[in-house]
Structure 1
Amino acid sequence: MYGSWQRFPPVCVSADSAQNSCWSVTYSPTATCALIGSSVDIRSYYTFPDNQKVTKSVWFIKEQAGAEPVDVREDEEYQGRVQYRQSSQNDCSIRITHLRERDAQTYRFRFYTDGGEYTGEPGVTLSVTDLKVTVSDTGSGGKKLNCYSTCILPNNLTYIWYKNGQPVSDQSINNTGQYLYVSTVDAGSYSCAVKGHDELHSPAAYPHLYLNMYLETQ
């Protein structure tokens, strides 16, 4: 489920209840969707035996049999676009900026201690999408415009609509919905974006409709 925490079965090295003796990794989210050109944060929380010390931690996407995984920060595709962010001793988050379509991968976290190593499986699946505008009939002579993405973006986003490159502005309506309804015919181009990423417009659609409209929020 998008946006959920998932804890993978811990590996316990003893039954000693006096100390934490388990290895585990918890990811949040376990799958996520983000816009091309934007940034994404993926978090992990990990545990290990109390009598050990973490010596190294890495996020990676590629693994070869018999070889250590390559830190994603050292991958040519990610140069200058990846940051590790640690808010506590047992937290290691990754931020990827200026997302590209080929960043759609499964990301896994591995940490090393002075007593062993552990990889959280199966990892976090990242999907990367652009925005598109689809047009359909409303049945009453108007058109329904949908700001569409190929994966499920967070449901708390605010959508912005544009006509001929200018933000739709009407004091009588709330123009922040994913759907835009337009009545009667007009020649014009319509596109959408997400607030906070206003520069990442969808390609223009041409429903040839007037700007006599109202919006429906999802």
Structure 2
Amino acid sequence: MNDSRLSHEGRVAIVTGAARGIGQAIAVKLAAHGARLVLVDIEEAQETARMIGDESLVATGDVTSAADWARIDTMVQERFGQTDIVVNNAGIGSNKRIDELDFEQWKRTFSINLDSHFLSAKQFVPQMRRNNWGRFVNISSNSIGIAIPGMSHYMASKMGVIGFVRGLANDVADSGITVNAVLPAITNTRLTQDMPEEVKRQTWQQQAIKRFAEPSDIAGAVCFLSSDDAAFITGQAVPVDGGQYKIS
């Protein structure tokens, strides 16, 4: 019987937005399960690297740049020889009602939250095909299913992630590659620390599980979807939100 703690042994995983929050938790979780990690962020993810140890590669880069993805790929090839798993976690969000939202903010949101997923696929699908194995786990959001004013740009980009996941899954399934999306709830990270307690309580009251999501909750789902145990799961959008998202 395989040791589930080493379910990712021998795999090389790229995690974007790995410097903190959900990305950091995902990287630490995958490393604990045996993966070698490539920690991608716009700033150096040194704290995450210290948490993981020597079997990690820190790579700064802009996930909206094809040139940066190619450079990161070269670094990974030189250090580890292959890429097996890509977790597209990097993202931005702001609360702007349509009256305040301008086109530049719209385009930047889509570039980071969605275009980066396309660029990673273009870079890494060919080598995953050669290896007949690969995993893409792309972070969407459960916000697409709940009522939050001022989030049209964010929701549209995160809904786009689901569409891209579904389409890409059909393109690559014949090569042993799976593609799935994880839809986190509002999660207890630095970005949400200043949320008023009343807003947090209102969030919990919409959930079956009455607490804030922690980064480790999201990391567990990503770890499963990037493992061999999830080999027959692809093109799916998986809410990880304590039962907040209402299926319709």
TM-score, L = length of structure 2: 0.27
Larger Rg over CA atoms:
1
By relative contact order (CA 8 Å, sep 6+), the higher-ranking structure is 2
Greater percentage in strand: 1
Greater percentage in helix: 2
